[in-house]
């Protein structure tokens, strides 16, 4: 069906963003080439430059500028991009999102052997007495390089799902790429899973009613955790909910018919999608590994039941379709639902888009299966 009119202005801004990104890449490469070709001037002997004395009120700014320069142009650009993304997310919640209700939250630091410690925030529903509740280990989206559990729309969604589904949401603040690349994120996720099961009684969580959930890049991590658990620990994982997941980082299951309907040139769309894998993976060939691309696992037998949600105007719809088929072929109870007329980020717009509210309701219905 045609794209919902709600997305008209957003699509215009997204096209502009893609063109600006492509232009920025060209400018960066030209600047690098210019610096390479430029011959540095030699110092004149006997005339050492005197170091300027910074005034006290400028010392702090000078130190910050020096630290910023030491990061390099790519790191500075990445920092700017993340600040902009956070500001945009804050605006999205205010204008088209739904604030989250007040719930009790507790934060923990989970040790990860050989990798950075990861923060896990647990959102608790109201309970009568001290009965343990079902829980879902949740992973945010953001192309592996932006996002986090502190992003306003992410935090609000976890809060609303906690209350409406009456399950605890254990949100994992995994490390971002390219500062940390695969397999750091999936090892952090797996460590969080082991920790959640191992400490379930103290956390007031029922270890027999635990699932995983992830959106976009987080869907990749959630699917991978299910695979790792099957291969390594065999814990009684009950459910996996995958929202617009990317499950094949080789790109072989991208459905570019989706971007044709958005009027985005194929080269720009491919450039953006490929950059996700290049940012996350140490080497492109790593995308062939099943813990990077869970669709490429030799077998999908023995995995928990799956609920997969995709969007019509999202090239990752091909990943979701293919993964659902692979699971069903392996005898796994799996369903795939495609939402018509919407884009990859549909779940955010609960205050403005009926499809987003239905998306929330369907995720809540899937989470309630943990109560069985």
Domains and CATH numbers, the chain: 97-371 (3.40.50.1820)
The beta-strand segments (E) located in 80-201 are 104-112, 115-124, 133-139, 168-173
DSSP string for 332-364:
--EEEEEEEEEETTGGG-TTT-HHHHHHHHHHH
Residues of the chain whose pLDDT is less than 50? 39, 41-56, 58, 61-63, 65-69
Burial label for 204, CB within 10 Å (0-12, 13-18, 19+), is middle
Tokens of 184: 């750091």
Q: Is 252 a catalytic residue?
A: no
Tokens of 98: 């739904």
Residue of 286, 344, 345, 360 with catalytic role: 344
pLDDT value for 47: 39
Element (H, E) at 93: helix 73-96
pLDDT value for 276: 94
What is the C-alpha separation between 312 and 181, in angstroms, rounded? Answer: 30
**Cβ(193)–Cβ(229) below 8 Å:** yes
Residue of 89, 173, 314, 345 with catalytic role: 314
Q: Is 362 a catalytic residue?
A: no
Half-sphere exposure of 186 (CA within 13 A, CB side): 24
User: Which residue is associated with the tokens 């492109």?
Assistant: 284
In DSSP terms, 335 is beta-bridged to 307
**Cβ(213)–Cβ(338) below 8 Å:** no
Residue of 173, 175, 206, 216 with catalytic role: 216
Distance between start and end Cα atoms, the chain? 36
Half-sphere exposure of 300 (CA within 13 A, CB side): 24
What is the C-alpha separation between 34 and 116, in angstroms, rounded? Answer: 38
pTM confidence score: 0.86
pLDDT value for 72: 82
In DSSP terms, 132 is beta-bridged to none
User: Which residue is associated with the tokens 């062939």?
Assistant: 288
Q: φ and ψ at 121, to 5 degrees? A: -110, 125
Q: Is 24 a catalytic residue?
A: no
């Amino acid at each position: 069906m045609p794209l919902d009119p709600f997305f008209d202005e957003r699509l215009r801004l997204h096209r502009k963003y893609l063109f600006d990104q492509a232009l920025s890449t060209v400018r960066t490469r030209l600047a690098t080439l210019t610096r390479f070709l430029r011959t540095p001037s030699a110092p004149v002997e006997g005339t050492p430059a005197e170091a300027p004395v910074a005034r006290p009120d400028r010392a702090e700014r000078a130190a910050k500028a020096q630290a910023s320069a030491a990061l390099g142009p790519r790191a500075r650009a990445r920092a700017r991009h993340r600040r902009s993304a956070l500001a945009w997310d804050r605006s999205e919640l205010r204008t088209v999102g739904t604030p989250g209700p007040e719930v009790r939250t507790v934060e923990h630091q989970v040790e990860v052997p050989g990798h950075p410690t990861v923060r896990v925030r647990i959102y608790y529903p109201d309970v009568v007495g001290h009965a343990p509740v079902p829980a879902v280990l949740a992973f945010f989206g953001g192309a592996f390089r932006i996002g986090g559990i502190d992003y306003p729309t992410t935090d609000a969604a976890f809060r609303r799902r906690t209350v409406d589904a009456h399950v605890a949401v254990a949100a994992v603040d995994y490390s971002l790429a390219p500062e940390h690349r695969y397999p750091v994120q999936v090892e952090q996720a797996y460590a969080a899973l082991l920790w959640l099961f191992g400490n379930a009684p103290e956390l007031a969580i029922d270890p027999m009613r635990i699932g995983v959930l992830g959106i976009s890049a987080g869907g990749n991590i959630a699917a991978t955790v299910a695979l790792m658990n099957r291969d390594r620990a065999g814990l009684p994982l009950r459910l996996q909910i995958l929202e617009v997941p990317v499950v094949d980082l080789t790109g072989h299951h991208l459905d570019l018919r989706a971007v044709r309907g958005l009027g985005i040139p194929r080269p720009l769309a491919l450039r953006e999608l490929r950059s996700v894998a290049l940012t996350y993976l140490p080497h492109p060939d790593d995308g062939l590994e099943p813990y990077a691309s869970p669709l490429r696992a030799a077998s999908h037998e023995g995995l928990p039941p799956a609920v997969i949600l995709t969007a019509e105007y999202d090239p990752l719809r091909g990943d979701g379709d293919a993964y659902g088929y692979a699971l069903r072929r392996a005898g796994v109870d799996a369903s795939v639902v495609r939402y018509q007329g919407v884009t990859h980020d549909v779940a955010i717009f609960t205050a403005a888009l009926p499809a987003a509210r239905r998306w929330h309701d369907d995720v809540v219905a899937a989470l309630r299966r943990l109560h069985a």
